[in-house]
Amino acid sequence: MTSLTQTAELLDGKAVAARVRREVGTRAAAFAAQHGRPPGLAVVQVGTNAASTVYVRNKRKACEETGIRSFAYDPPSAVTRQELLDLVRHLNRDDQVDGILMQLPLPPGLDANEIMDAIDPAKDVDGFHPENTGLLAQKRPRLRPCTPYGVIRLAAEYGIALRGLRATVVGASNIVGRPMALELLLAGATVTVCHTGTRDLAAEVERADVVVAAVGRPGMVRGAWIREGAAVFDVGINRTEGGRLVGDVEFEPAAARAAWITPVPGGIGPMTIAMLLSNTLDAATALHPLPRAADQS
């Protein structure tokens, strides 16, 4: 069996996320000093989905560590559509709440699109509202989807200049794939999006200078497909039967060909939460700008 030697530089999402959190902490302290209260994030988790509980706990802990006040709302899975919509509208009006995060997935019987669309776009710190997606598409980003935004920040931190590169996004979900394509276009890359209708996935990946994998299937992107010197961002987080966390990219052979690659875990996951916190500060400062100094002339 041929041995593989890793040549790729690991893109350390934990380290970069820590820098983003420090930035957020500084901004949160300044906001609190200026407004007499910390920025506020309402985190809504409907029901008791085990994976969601872990994510929500991590997000609430991250808020505490960076000086953001976390408001916890945990309606039962039996909550009605109207009750949940009423909660969202209450949070839209609450002046102490600068950002609203609705943890997905929602229980069966609730229309996630309807609930998410009811969130005030100015408080949509997930960046999923159609208004925010539309602004990103028009090259006027406001609140940006956290995972794609995290990929862009991570690339910038490592000096990966995306302009002019050929980028392939594997996966076309509304949460990652589609907004990721818009982010890459905004950065000046030439973008291909692969999905279930793609005829030759290997060929599309092989020609890419940048690969973003976001399908939720372990090892779907083969390492042998990775172009020499490419940058690989693996968004997938999958648990094997043995309990090990792996990504959507076949890591070892990909790392032997790429110039940069994100590990799983420790790559994009920490960046997603960090950019959520950053979005919360962006929302707070946009909703509550400081009054302009009086004209002294």
Characterize the bridge pairing of strands 245-246 and 238-239. antiparallel
- Which helix (H) or strand (E) segment is 170 a member of? strand 166-170
Strands ordered across the beta sheet of 69-73: 69-73, 40-44, 99-102
232, 264 contact by CB (below 8 A) = no
Characterize 73-98 residue by residue with b for buried, 16 or more Cβ atoms within 10 angstroms of its Cβ, and e for exposed: beeeeebeeeebeebbeebbeeeebb
Encoded amino acid at 125, one letter: V
Query: Is 9 strand, coil or helix?
Result: strand
Q: Whole-angstrom Cα distance, residue 215 to residue 238?
A: 10
Establish how many alpha carbons lie within 13 A of residue 171's alpha carbon, considering only the half-sphere containing its beta carbon: 23
Catalytic residue positions, numbered: 59, 103, 126
Q: Whole-angstrom Cα distance, residue 171 to residue 181?
A: 10
CA nearest 290: which of 30, 44, 38?
Answer: 30
The tokens 């590169």 sit on which residue?
Answer: 165
Q: Whole-angstrom Cα distance, residue 40 to residue 33?
A: 14
CA nearest 128: which of 114, 138, 117, 141?
Answer: 117
Q: Whole-angstrom Cα distance, residue 65 to residue 70?
A: 11
- Which helix (H) or strand (E) segment is 116 a member of? helix 112-117
